Each structure stands twice: as structure tokens, then as C-alpha cells.
Amino acid sequence: MTKAELLELVKNGENSGVEFKAGPIDNRALAKELVAFANLAGGYVLLGVEDDGSIAGFTRKNLEEWVMNTCRDKIRPELIPYFQLIRDVEPGKDIAVVYVDRGWGVHHLWHNNHRTYYIRVGSQSRETSPEELERLFQQRGVFRLETRAVIGTTLDDFDRRRLRDYFVRIRQQEVPADEDRDGWKKLLVNTEIMTQENNSIEPAASVAGLLLFGKNPKRFLPQSGIDAVAYPGREKDYNSIERAYLQGAITPLLGTEGMVESGLVEEAIYFVRRNTKVEAYLENGARRKERRDYPEEAVREAVVNALVHRDYLLSGTNIELSIYSDRLEIVSPGRLPNGITPERMKTGCRSARNQLLKDIMRDYGYLEHMGMGIPRKIIKGMLEHNRTEPDLVEEGELFILRLQKGEKT
């Protein structure tokens, strides 16, 4: 880092990636800031800068050794920071730059045989709430929420018809007889559709299992549905065209003659069909064809992605499907997982928050095996449909996918 780059950081003040420290500072205080940065997206601690941005300088002896020992002794898992001393930022005043990347694991401060987890929130480093800590562990892949037990559920909370359809038709394997409860439990535990935690006597439905095959997932997982609204104009309005809460198992039930009961994906598609138009036109001036406001394959891919990749730890929020006069939006709760960004999604970069959900939906044919649904079905589909490219936006704890109805002007 050059002196000019340092002064630019100082000029912009403290934020989610920059912290100022001056005066006497103990190793615990430094470790707290570095832990918070590593648990978010990385960041800089500038030693020798006052909170107001004035240059105070930092004069501790053996400063680099002290910083490295702090990261080794006070942080678990240990961090190895980038360290740089920039001399004479102002005459006789040196600044130490300490930088850490986003951690691969979840880091904590280790002090007096006690661990404390911190995360960066704006310009402050604060202790995590239990919910934030669970999300951190999930984002880092330390545990899989989707395979955790849904307390209070039993084998009877599954739609056995859907399970049989999945194993027999999709996986082409034999299943136990209906009365063989132990056989069914064994099969479902082995496939992670049920789980047996903490040496419990009876297995319970896993989160993914209940979402996919549950009789009534909303009873145990209120965040399992889709809030669907069609508005007459370009903004949210109390006077909607239609409002619906879509709920039920994600997977459909098929019979010999086709669809017996739709799944959550189909319910979302039916809602979009009801609240969008079909335009008739002549191809090459002779052949009559029809075109919907949005290509159905792109809408389906967007709905499936929201259901498969949303953060089910955010229990107070549903997926939102909103149709406006000029666009369609799908809002999925949760940050993008494992370092994925909107730009990386456009190139087909793959990472799953809920791998079991992804695998089973792929078994049904909802997802491409190459993981190229967004570039191939959504982006390419919209460009061919009306020459617009979808907006992929990460906004706080939400991911928004926006399809334009017509060409942008």
C-alpha cells in the first residue's frame, strides 16, 4: 500500500472494511477487530489513526511481532495477516496497516479460556447473535442446516406418495411396504431425508426432507413458502391484482397420466401464467406464434434457484415473487453463499448452500447437471426473448433476480 492509498482510506473514514486504532491498545482489542473482519469479508485495521481520522502515529516497540503474536495467541483458528509499516505519514508519525482476508472458517477471540465470536456491522465490530453465528457456520460450510432435524416431526409428516414416486420412478429402486415403518425410516435416514441426532430413539425429518416431501412443511418451517403478488403498476400497492401464499412440498406428484398434484415450483409458474399476458404474432409474416411476457423456462429456473439456494435460517421471511407492469422480481432471503457474487453467477460459477436440495431437484430434472442454469436459461433466454439481460442484485440479506418485461429504453 502506498502512502497515497493509505491517506485515501483514512479520508473515507471507518466502514465495513476499515477500522482506526490509536493510543494504548491491548492485544484483545486488536484481535476483536480482526476476527470481525475475517468473519465478514476481510478488512484493514490502521494502527495510529484516531477515530476522527487524524494521524496520531503508533510507537509500540516490536510492533510487527506483537501483531503476529496477537493473531496466533488470541484468535482461533489462527490468522496470518498482511502487515505493513508506512513511515512519516505525517512528520515523525508512522502508521501500521494490518489486513486480513475473509476467513475460510469461523474465527473467534480466545481470552481467559473463553471464546467470543464477532462480526463487522457497518463501522462497528459486535458480538454475534445466535442466529448470526449459525449463518456464519453455514456460510463457511461448517454445518449443513438442510440435514438438521426438524424437532417434533416423524415419518407420518411425510407424503408417502411423493416419497414412493421419487424412489421408484426417479431413482428406480425398490421401497419398503407401507406397513414397514422401520424399513422406511432406515431408507430415509440413509438418504438424509430423515436424520437421527444426538442418539435420539426416533429419527426426525431433515429440513430438506420436509421441504421436498412434507405433507405440510409450513407447520414446522413457516419460511418454506412463496409470497406471490401481482401489482397493477410499477410499484408495490395495496390494490393488487392477485395475492397468494404458495405453500406445500417443493416436489410434484406424477402419475401414469401426468401431474396428480403440483409442487411449489409448478404453483409459482401457474401464478405467473395467470398474471401475465400472451402476445400473438406472425413469424416471417405467415406463421402465427404466441409469446408470453417472460420465457417460462427462465421463470422456472429463477423459482427453482430461489427455493434451492435461499437461506432457510432466516425463519421470518419467505421468498417473494412479485409481478409488476414492467418487470418480474424474485427476492430470495440470504446472502449469496461461499464467496459467490452476481458477476460470478453470470459465468456459471457453482456453489450450493443446500446441496441435498440441489441434488434431489436435479434428480427431478429441474436443474442442469453442469450448473449453467443462470447463463443458459435465464440470461440467454431473456436476451433471445426481448434483448434484455436480467438484473442480479445482492442487497443486504437479500438476493434479487429481476426480469424486464420489454426492451429497456
**4 to 7, 42, 84, 89: CA distances (angstroms):** 5, 21, 14, 9
> Who contacts 250 (Cβ-Cβ below 8 Å, separation ≥6)?
211, 212, 263, 264, 265, 307, 357, 361
Domain count, the chain: 3
| 327 and 253 assigned to the same domain | yes
Tell me the mean pLDDT in the region 235-258. Answer: 92
The rounded percent of the chain whose pLDDT value lies above 90 is 67
Encode pLDDT of 26-63 as tens digits.
Answer: 999 999 999 999 999 899 999 999 999 999 998 888 99
Encode pLDDT of 137-161 as tens digits.
Answer: 877 765 678 888 898 899 999 999 9
Q: What is the sign, positive or negative, of the torsion defined by CA atoms of 21, 23, 26, 27? A: positive
CB count in 10 Å sphere of residue 124: 12
Instruction: Please give the residue range of the domain that contains residue 368.
Output: 222-404
| 95 and 188 assigned to the same domain | no
On whether residue 135 sits in a domain, the answer given is no
| 248 and 357 assigned to the same domain | yes
Q: Cell match 448452500: residue?
A: 353
| 211 and 232 assigned to the same domain | no
Task: Give which of 233, 365, 381, 242 is closest to 401, Cα–Cα.
Answer: 381
Bridge-partner residues for 204, per DSSP?
Answer: 195
Encode pLDDT of 318-368 as tens digits.
Answer: 999 999 999 999 999 988 876 678 888 888 766 677 889 999 999 999 987
- Domain end (from 176, 200, 218): 218
- Domain end (from 180, 199, 218): 218
227 has pLDDT over 50: yes
On whether residue 138 sits in a domain, the answer given is no
On whether residue 15 sits in a domain, the answer given is yes
Buried-state track 35-73, b at ≥16 Cβ within 10 A, e below 16: bbbbbbebbbbbbbbeeeeebbbbeeeebeebbbebbee
On whether residue 205 sits in a domain, the answer given is yes
What's the whole-model pTM score? 0.69
On whether residue 371 sits in a domain, the answer given is yes
What is the Cα–Cα distance from 394 to 310, expressed in whole angstroms? 12
Q: How many helices (H) and strands (E) does the chain have?
A: 14, 21
| 124 and 168 assigned to the same domain | no
On whether residue 141 sits in a domain, the answer given is no
| 255 and 395 assigned to the same domain | yes
DSSP H helical segments within 195-319, as ranges?
207-213, 217-220, 264-274, 296-309
| 279 and 383 assigned to the same domain | yes
Encode pLDDT of 158-212 as tens digits.
Answer: 999 999 999 999 999 999 999 999 999 999 999 999 998 755 678 999 999 999 9
Look at residue 282 in the predicted model and tell me its pLDDT.
65
| 214 and 228 assigned to the same domain | no
| CATH of residue 92 | 3.30.950.30
| 16 and 115 assigned to the same domain | yes
On whether residue 58 sits in a domain, the answer given is yes
Tell me the mean pLDDT in the region 389-404. Answer: 92
Burial of 83 (0-12, 13-18, 19+ CB in 10 A): middle
- Domain end (from 218, 249, 271): 218
| 39 and 165 assigned to the same domain | no
| 95 and 159 assigned to the same domain | no
Encode pLDDT of 377-391 as tens digits.
Answer: 999 999 999 999 999
409 has pLDDT over 50: no
| CATH of residue 267 | 3.30.565.60
Task: Give which of 71, 6, 8 is closest to 34, Cα–Cα.
Answer: 71
What is the Cα–Cα distance from 22 to 405, expressed in whole angstroms? 54
Tell me the mean pLDDT in the region 66-74. Answer: 92
User: Three-state SS for 153?
Assistant: coil
On whether residue 139 sits in a domain, the answer given is no
Tell me the mean pLDDT in the region 403-409. Answer: 74
Look at residue 39 in the predicted model and tell me its pLDDT.
92
Look at residue 144 in the predicted model and tell me its pLDDT.
75
Q: Show the cell assigned to 254.
A: 406424477
| 291 and 252 assigned to the same domain | yes
